[in-house]
Chain A
Amino acid sequence: MRQTRIVRNISLGIENLLLHKLRSFLTMLGVVFGVGSVVAMLSVGEGASQHALSQIRKLGSDNIIVSSVKSSEEEQTSTTHSHMSIYGLTYADHRRIAESFANVRQTAPAKLMRKESRLGERSMELRVVGATPEWFHLVPRALVAGRVIVQADQDTRSPVAVLTEFGARKLLATEASVGQTLRIGGDEFAVIGIIQSESGQAGNIQIPDQEIDVYIPLEVARRYFGDIFTKRTSGSEEREKVELHQIIVQVDDPRHAEAVAAGIERMLGMFHKKKDYALSVPLALLKQAEATKRTFNIVLGSIAGISLLVGGIGIMNIMLASVTERTREIGIRRAIGAKRRQIIYQFLIETVVLSMIGGLIGLGIGVLIPMLITHFSDMPTVVTLNGVLLPLFISMSIGILFGLYPAMNAARVDPIVALRHE
């Protein structure tokens, strides 16, 4: 009974709104655009931030990435004349990091170099990384074929190579290439596997395996190629000595990541005269990204709030005008026996119905826009349940909030005066 009464009230409200189709539609527009923009902005923002967060998560929230950095003064001197710059992380640094911190579970040192390589008929410069088996634990990637480097390869200093998909693509290697011989520099390596690789960037940090074509055991790299690299750039020759380019440190618990990072930084500071290293903590980046996302959401929320406020004021404005215009109707209803609160109810239902319909249309538009964005630009968008329910809830609240004052104005109408109103 009560339910049918509500349905009837709402349907009478809709009937009344349909009497002024254009006006109702125009009144609604504010809410339509308000809700539409909220839903669209939230889903675009959510998509972007989820994308960034997942990229960061791929780096591992319990990892710390320490890399060698050529300091800026070194950069300048090295270009002026033939000069060997010595910088970066050392084997000793790696040993100290691995041994000094109780909370470090494992470490993966890596050496990066560019070597002229050849597989079968195809030859080109490849980015080669000397890595230990731990690397494959810390940067887990699915195998396409074969196997990855294991401790035995390291121990026996076997000349084996694992291609990444990037490298395999360059060399036109296929699964059948496993077992073939890959020449790196002047030496022969056996291809033992191909692994998948990740592309893309997460904020300002690179995924560790982004620019790698081939992995070889670190010990082999060290023995075959040494620590001195020669780069020939536009006539001049640049030589540098770098022992390790990167150390990935895994801690036993993400909660310790920042503390261990600080410890490593302090320790490196003691042994390095120049700051020729850099630390990045994905967890800290994750936190930062999440904080950025919160700020972003607050900004979006404020903009959306303003547009919804404008929509609400639009509704209030029209409803106030409508109350004045319908003074006589209100007087008639009151004379017939409608109570004040029934008049309030009537006008409130009209505004709530109006703002809810506006909200639903806005929701439709707001869901459609992200779909179009994703369809045409590959930008990820995510429509969350909250992103849908919140604007609807807000649009209903706006109906009540901005409808209440006009409705109470309507209820204040004195029937005797109203019946004489022209």
Chain B
Amino acid sequence: MRDRTAQNNGHEIVRLEGARKIYQMGTEEVRALDGVNVTFERGEFWAIMGPSGSGKSTMMNVLGCLDRLTSGAYYLEGKDVSQLDDDSLSELRLRYLGFIFQSFNLIPQLSVQRNIELPLYYLGWDAARSAQRAKELAEEVGLGERLNHRPTELSGGQMQRVAIARALANDPQVIFADEPTGNLDSATGVQIMELLSKLNRLGKTIVMVTHEPDIAAYASSKLHMIDGNIDRIEKGSHAPNPDSPKHLAGHREPAAP
């Protein structure tokens, strides 16, 4: 993490260089990522968009250290993590990353408190400190009263709040959100997005995958993908990404099927 490269200007947190991910499906090669170059900076809120099969989920898995590149480099906080082994990637996820999923992915048998404590358990925190932290986080997402409930006793919006609290437990550098409102009605979805926006304003870097433009609108920058590569980048106040050839060619994103 401390091994900064020359290209790192100090704000960069995530950078892909010539990132390729190739799946072998029988005899056919599927290029889920086909030489992606992209840089996210600290404090940004990115929406990765694109039709299904465009490679946005693969992109998310690679950035979230759940999957490894076939070739190319992935710098997380300036350190190339593309060659790390499984244990080291687990360690990175544990210490620096947080995840929010479309289907919440809470452990149904565990109480809200236990779910939030999960990363702390693997970080080796003791029970008392974990409980205190879980309580604070639950209050932060507005679920202070529900610590002893089971996830099944909660509404979808509440479950996603628990998931957000869990993602925050290790005070992550980057939060990855995979279609965080996909299973929620639009009113609840708005609440969740407002919560994420608030976290972003408080300084958290967020990378979100979505195919809903309304939801993507909460992000400060948007990255459109197509066929395993970047289609175009809409960067809030920054200049458009000059790396994207399709952007230069004025390529338009086709409607999602």
Known: A4-B126, A5-B124, A419-B105. A335 touches B66 (CB 8 A): yes
A contact residues, range: 20 to 34
B109 adjacent to A338 (CB under 8 Å): no
CB nearest to B64 among chain A residues:
A335
- Stretch of A217-225, A285-293, A325-333, A347-355 with 4 or more beta carbons under 8 angstroms from chain B: A325-333
**Chain B contact residues: over half helix, strand or loop, or mixed?**
helix
In the assembled complex, which residues on chain A have CB atoms less than 8 Å from the CB atom of B124?
5
A window 291-338: CB within 8 A of B: 328-329, 331-338
Known: A335-B105, A337-B94, A340-B87. A416 touches B61 (CB 8 A): yes
In the assembled complex, which residues on chain B have CB atoms less than 8 Å from the CB atom of A333?
107, 118, 122
Looking at the complex, which one of B90, B92, B109 makes contact with A16 (CB distance below 8 Å)?
A: B109
CB nearest to B60 among chain A residues:
A416
Known: A328-B105, A332-B107. A339 touches B90 (CB 8 A): yes
**Chain A contact residues: over half helix, strand or loop, or mixed?**
helix
B122 adjacent to A416 (CB under 8 Å): no
B window 91-112: CB within 8 A of A: 91-95, 97, 99, 101, 105-107, 109
Tell me the complex Cα distance, A340–B90, Å: 9
In the assembled complex, which residues on chain B have CB atoms less than 8 Å from the CB atom of A342?
122
A337 adjacent to B66 (CB under 8 Å): no
Judge whether A359 is part of the interface by a CB distance below 8 angstroms. Answer: no
B interface residues, how many (CB within 8 angstroms) = 29
Looking at the complex, which one of A16, A331, A336, A415 makes contact with B122 (CB distance below 8 Å)?
A: A336
In the assembled complex, which residues on chain A have CB atoms less than 8 Å from the CB atom of B122?
333, 336-338, 342
Judge whether B180 is part of the interface by a CB distance below 8 angstroms. Answer: no
A335 adjacent to B107 (CB under 8 Å): no
Known: A16-B109, A342-B122, A416-B61. A334 touches B127 (CB 8 A): no
In the assembled complex, which residues on chain A have CB atoms less than 8 Å from the CB atom of B43?
none
| CB < 8 Å A-B pair total | 60
Judge whether B86 is part of the interface by a CB distance below 8 angstroms. Answer: yes
Judge whether B119 is part of the interface by a CB distance below 8 angstroms. Answer: yes
Residue among A12, A16, A328, A336 having the largest count of chain B Cβ atoms under 10 Å: A336
Tell me the complex Cα distance, A5–B105, Å: 26
B93 adjacent to A337 (CB under 8 Å): yes
Judge whether A102 is part of the interface by a CB distance below 8 angstroms. Answer: no
**Least CB distance, A336 to chain B, in whole angstroms:** 5
Tell me the complex Cα distance, A333–B109, Å: 13
In the assembled complex, which residues on chain A have CB atoms less than 8 Å from the CB atom of B109?
16, 19, 329
Judge whether B67 is part of the interface by a CB distance below 8 angstroms. Answer: yes
A8 adjacent to B127 (CB under 8 Å): yes
**Least CB distance, B48 to chain A, in whole angstroms:** 16
In the assembled complex, which residues on chain A have CB atoms less than 8 Å from the CB atom of B121?
12
CB nearest to A329 among chain B residues:
B107
In the assembled complex, which residues on chain B have CB atoms less than 8 Å from the CB atom of A336?
93-94, 99, 118-119, 122, 166
CB nearest to B120 among chain A residues:
A336
B window 123-176: CB within 8 A of A: 123-124, 126-127, 166, 170
Looking at the complex, which one of A5, A331, A339, A415 makes contact with B87 (CB distance below 8 Å)?
A: A339
A window 381-422: CB within 8 A of B: 415-416, 419
Tell me the complex Cα distance, A340–B86, Å: 8
CB nearest to B97 among chain A residues:
A337
**Least CB distance, B24 to chain A, in whole angstroms:** 15
Tell me the complex Cα distance, A338–B99, Å: 13
Tell me the complex Cα distance, A163–B123, Å: 83
A335 adjacent to B126 (CB under 8 Å): no
CB nearest to B90 among chain A residues:
A339
CB nearest to A11 among chain B residues:
B127
In the assembled complex, which residues on chain A have CB atoms less than 8 Å from the CB atom of B67?
416
In the assembled complex, which residues on chain B have CB atoms less than 8 Å from the CB atom of A16?
109
**Least CB distance, A309 to chain B, in whole angstroms:** 30
In the assembled complex, which residues on chain B have CB atoms less than 8 Å from the CB atom of A341?
87
A window 1-19: CB within 8 A of B: 4-5, 8, 12, 16, 19
Tell me the complex Cα distance, A339–B122, Å: 9
Tell me the complex Cα distance, A8–B106, Å: 21
Tell me the complex Cα distance, A335–B61, Å: 10
CB nearest to A420 among chain B residues:
B103
Known: A337-B122, A416-B61. A332 touches B105 (CB 8 A): yes
**Least CB distance, A50 to chain B, in whole angstroms:** 49
- Residue interface mask B70-103, A partner, CB < 8 A = 1: 0000000000000000110011111101010100
In the assembled complex, which residues on chain B have CB atoms less than 8 Å from the CB atom of A8?
126-127
B66 adjacent to A338 (CB under 8 Å): no
**Least CB distance, B64 to chain A, in whole angstroms:** 8
Known: A5-B124, A337-B91. A416 touches B66 (CB 8 A): yes
In the assembled complex, which residues on chain B have CB atoms less than 8 Å from the CB atom of A337?
90-95, 97, 119, 122-123, 170
Looking at the complex, which one of A19, A329, A335 makes contact with B93 (CB distance below 8 Å)?
A: A335
**Least CB distance, B165 to chain A, in whole angstroms:** 13
Instruction: List 8 additional contacts besides A335-B64, A339-B90, A419-B105; criterion CB under 8 Å.
Output: A8-B126, A335-B99, A335-B105, A337-B95, A337-B97, A339-B91, A341-B87, A419-B101
Q: List 5 A-B contacts (CB under 8 A).
A: A8-B127, A332-B106, A336-B119, A340-B86, A341-B87
A residues neighboring B (CB under 8 Å): 4-5, 8, 12, 16, 19, 328-329, 331-342, 415-416, 419
In order of increasing CB-CB distance, the 4 nearest A-B pairs are A337-B94, A337-B93, A339-B90, A19-B109
